[in-house]
Structure 1
Amino acid sequence: MTITPTAPATSEIDLFSDETLGVNDDAVFAQLRELAPVVYLPKNDAYAITRYDDVRDALANTDVFSSSGVAFNPQMNEVLKGTSLAADPPEHGKLRAVLTDNLSPRALRPLRTVINDKADEMVRDLFSRETFDGMADLAVAFPVSIVLDLIGVQGDLREKILPWGEAAFNLLGPMNQRAQDSFPTAGELFTWTHEEMRGVDLAEGSIGRAIWEAAERGEISHESFGYIVHQILAAGMDTTITTIGNCLVLLGENPEQYAKLREDPTLASSAMAEVIRLRTPAPVFGRKALADVEVAGTLIPAGSQVALCYGSANMDPRKFDDPETFDVTRNPVDHLGFGYGVHGCAGQGLAKLEIQALLLAMTQHVESFAIGEVAARLNNFTRPYASIEVTDIVLAQG
């Protein structure tokens, strides 16, 4: 079939500029989304797909929209070859199998009690204080401890994992100054996971140790072992950290919504989905167009870099009524914050366990709280806070 080329809408917006990479980039996405369903961005040399239905359709069409372009620079796409993140079917299924087996609901079931108990202890401790940093003390500390124990990381290495992961995520954007500055730190993570890490480095009974033993038995390659551990670290920490921070800010700034959650704790799952919809932790993913493709009447030429704007899709009024309103009862289970299709987030089961455990612990122990000063930390891929002041804490009685 011959596709008649149409001139795309264009915008001088840079998806990865300091001005865009704030905690709330809704205004940028709204501008692009209302301009056109597909917008060419010369500063990123990318075609941005901005509306819900089109983003979801592109995620489902792996024959055309290839994950070989998941990063916005060729160097990182080359590094990611051989990972499930950057692979397309049928290779993707083989690479992802071990990862999903170890992060499936069945595999994670034994962790549920551990996660719930740790969440309860941390919430009781932190909210008994006059104030605390919701980012460092809770959003970072909780998932980092869970994931590092899950993998079996021990000793001094535990202090290095978070900066390693943040640097690696910077490299998924274009090769701007932020990415260039992150290369040495991200390289340390790659060197450890792919060259230095051994099974004896990981705690007995951990998932990391089990994956190593699978490599020793010949079930997977030793190269795959490094990739899988690398991906569990990525899947289990940075976006979860960002979402926990977003939960604190949105619930603290919307006390009537927190009151609804306290009144009905079964809304924890719905509240989490609404936070991810409203503040998508990783709002832009890359793809490469393998063939000429028409999206909403606009031609995207073969070989083009594509930007799938999850954050814009999740705020599309064509899909979600009154999308700018935070409503813990909305339950937007079809949000795209975890992706869609074969590349849906492999770590979402663990993320859900962690986030819901914290929300439930808060409903039990905290009547109300407020948010003071917040500061953003710029990253090419995620949208984390640097700090969140939690204050005006009132503990639940009884």
Structure 2
Amino acid sequence: MSIAGVDIDLFSTAVLEEPWAAYAALRERGPAVYLDRYGVWAIPRYDEVFAMLRDHQTFSSAPVPALEPERPDMEAARHSILGSDPPRHTTLRAVLSEQLSPRALRTLRADIETQADAVVAGLVERGTYDAVQDLARRFPVEVVARLVGLPEDAREPLLALADAAFNTFGPANELTQASWSRLPEIGGYIAQVMTRETIAPGSWGAAVYAAADRGDISEPDAIQMMNAFIVAGMDTTVNSIGSAIWLLAERPDTWAALREDPSLVRSAYEEALRYESPVSFFCRGVTRPTEVGGVQLDAGDRVMLLFGAANRDERHYADADRFDVRRNPLDHVAFGGGIHGCAGQGLARIEGPAVLGALVRHVEFLELAGEPSRHLNNAVRGLERLPIATRTS
């Protein structure tokens, strides 16, 4: 089976704002579609994305899961925990296995829910606020920064630095070029703020340095993991919370159903992750000749796993373009999968429902108070502004 290439630009402003028609066209075209513009195979369907995520021997994350891993600006990201395979990946991931275990996360749940309730209650008193700037970007940063052990007065740059890093996962377009000047700030931030002396004792950051002191990982590996805290620690949660609130504010009947049955909160959050996938793609390198849905791939080829397209694949999800809080799609690929599945997904699945649950308890009427605006990034999808109005009974 042979599939001709197409000239779809997944990184144009129009597609970054609304990718769904392009994704549908790629899914219709085939299980693997060659993008002439970028010299990469787009993988738009669920089954193939799901399978590739679980075959790191054929589809390698090394040296970095970006579109153009050999670019000079990717140097700092190469062979990080995101861009490594076993045995190195196993060693790095094990450093935080205790802190990210289900048992450890369960002990955090009550505290996170209490924090979310306090933040939401304060905003509801205002009546009208920006659910992205005042809530979605505030709450996860506070939670993760505290767990990592960052000083309170040094948390403000985190999201801007993460945004710049994720932009570079795409092509060298205007978004990436505008981010290049910020990349050195990540190293500077780690050197000044995320040191042994400044990281809080007992924190996740302290656990990383303790592993380096024991010789479990090298000192450069410890710095790479601090880098990963900045780059990959918050964006998924920030953007998924913002998207979930937007989707619910646009759907009064759905909000009423959630108020009537709060047990749907967790399902609603999972559906928001599926419907508005916060990470658009990660790439892999093909290590050996293989066939994907009848399409022959060669060693050295590059594949782009389109998480957003896979999560809207009508072959896997009935009525995939409908937001349905009763769907509970726990098999979505918004967190990736396999050995590279998002290490922080357990925490995100506490934070997101904690915010939605607090809104359900405090807010009877949730509605838009202005036009939302999209935040453009090559690799992550979310909102820049979301004016909403909330009223109690």
Shorter-chain TM-score tier: over 0.9
Tell me the residue number matched to 2:215. Answer: 218
Q: Tell me, yes or no, if structure 1 residue 181 matches structure 2 residue 170.
A: no
1:9 equivalent to 2:29? Answer: no
CA distance in 2: counterparts of 1:100 and 1:9, whole angstroms: 44
- For 1:171 and 1:324, locate their aligned partners in 2 and report how far apart those are by CA, in whole Å: 29
2:162 corresponds to 1:165:
yes
Q: Aligned residue for 2:383?
A: 385
Q: Which residue, 295, 313, 318 being the options, matches 2:315?
A: 318
- Counterpart residue type for residue 388 of structure 1: L
CA deviation string 1:301-344 (max 9, x = no partner): 22112111111111111100001111111111111111111111
Question: In 1, Cα distance between the equivalents of 2:387 and 2:250?
Answer: 12
Are the equivalent residues in 2 in contact too, given 1:99–1:232 (CA < 8 A)?
Answer: no
CA distance in 1, matches of 2:364, 2:189: 44
> Which whole-Å CA distance do the structure 2 matches of 1:301 and 1:213 have between them?
42
CA distance in 2, matches of 1:250, 1:232: 28
Looking at structure 1, the residues matched to 330 and 115 of structure 2 have their Cα atoms a distance apart, in angstroms, of 27
- For residue 16 of structure 2, what is the aligned residue in structure 1? 21
Whether the aligned pair in 2 keeps the contact of 1:317 and 1:323 (CA below 8 Å) is yes
Paired residues for 1:223-234 under 5 Å: 223-234=220-231
- 1:170-200 CA deviation, whole Å, 9 max, x = no partner? 1111222211221221221134336874211
Alignment-derived partner of residue 113 in structure 2: 116
Contact kept in structure 1, 2:61 and 2:83, CA below 8 Å? yes
Counterpart check, 1:150 vs 2:150: no
Q: Which residue of 2 aligns with 1:42?
A: 36
In 2, are the aligned partners of 1:99 and 1:228 still within 8 Å (CA)? no
Equivalent in the alignment of 1:3: none
Q: Is the 8 A contact 2:161 2:230 kept in 1?
A: no
CA deviation after TM superposition for structure 1 residue 250, in Å = 0.5
Could you tell me which residue of structure 2 aligns to residue 70 of structure 1?
A: 65
- Provide the secondary structure at the position in 2 that maps to 1:62: coil
What residue in structure 1 maps to residue 55 of structure 2? Answer: 61
CA 1:89–1:204: 2 relative to 1, 3 Å: closer
Amino acid at match of 2:375: R
Greater displacement, 41-50 / 154-163: 154-163
Q: Distance in 2 between matches of 1:167 and 1:108?
A: 29
For the residues of structure 2 that align with 1:304 and 1:344, how far apart are their CA atoms?
22
Q: Which moved more, 1:285-294 or 1:186-195?
A: 186-195
> What pairs with 1:1-398 in structure 2 (closer than 5 Å)?
6-22=1-17, 24-68=18-62, 69-73=64-68, 74-75=70-71, 78-193=75-190, 197-371=194-368, 372-391=370-389, 393-396=390-393
Deviation string for 1:259-287 (max 9, x for gaps)? 22222212121111111111101121111
Amino acid in structure 1 at the alignment position of 2:44: T
In 2, Cα distance between the equivalents of 1:307 and 1:198?
Answer: 35
Instruction: Report the AA paired with residue 177 of structure 2.
Output: Q
User: What secondary structure sits across from 1:83 in the alignment?
Assistant: coil
CA distance in 2, matches of 1:325, 1:169: 28
Offset of residue 41 of structure 1: 0.6
The CA distance in 2 between the partners of 1:283 and 1:195, in whole Å, is: 31
TM, length-normalised to structure 1: 0.93
Specify the code of the residue in structure 2 equivalent to 1:383.
Answer: R
Q: What is the CA RMSD across the aligned residues, in angstroms?
A: 1.7
Letter in 2 for 1:291: R
Percent of pairs with identical residues? 42
Structure 1 counterpart SS, 2:380:
coil
Corresponding residue SS for 1:101: coil
Does the 8 A contact of 1:171 with 1:179 survive in 2?
yes
Structure 2 contact 375–381 (Cα < 8 Å) conserved: yes
Contact 1:232 1:347 in 2 (8 A): no
After TM superposition, give the deviation of residue 77 of structure 1 in Å.
5.1
Tell me, yes or no, if the aligned pair for 1:143 and 1:236 is still in contact at 8 Å.
Answer: no
Partner-residue secondary structure (3-state), 1:85: coil
Give the deviation of 1:291 after TM superposition: 1.7
Q: Deviations over 1:28-84 (max 9, x none)?
A: 111111122211111121100111111111111211111025111223554333322
For 2:150, give the aligned amino acid.
Answer: V
Verify the 8 A CA contact 2:91 2:217 in the aligned structure 1: no
SS of equivalent residue, structure 1 residue 329: coil
What do residues 119-138 of structure 1 show as CA deviations (whole Å, max 9, x unaligned)?
Answer: 00111111222310111000
SS at match of 1:385: strand
Count of aligned pairs between the two proteins: 389
Farther off after superposition, 270-279 or 177-186: 177-186
Deviations 1:216-258 (A, max 9, x none): 2333222222222222333331111110110111111112112
DSSP-derived class of the 2:99 partner? helix
Contact residue 46 and residue 313 of structure 2 kept, 8 A = yes
> Which ranges in structure 2 are unaligned for 5 or more consecutive residues?
none
- Do the aligned partners of residues 123 and 181 (structure 1) sit closer, same or farther apart at CA in structure 2, a change above 3 Å counting? same
Query: TM-score, normalised on structure 2?
Result: 0.94
- 3-state SS of paired residue (1:233): helix
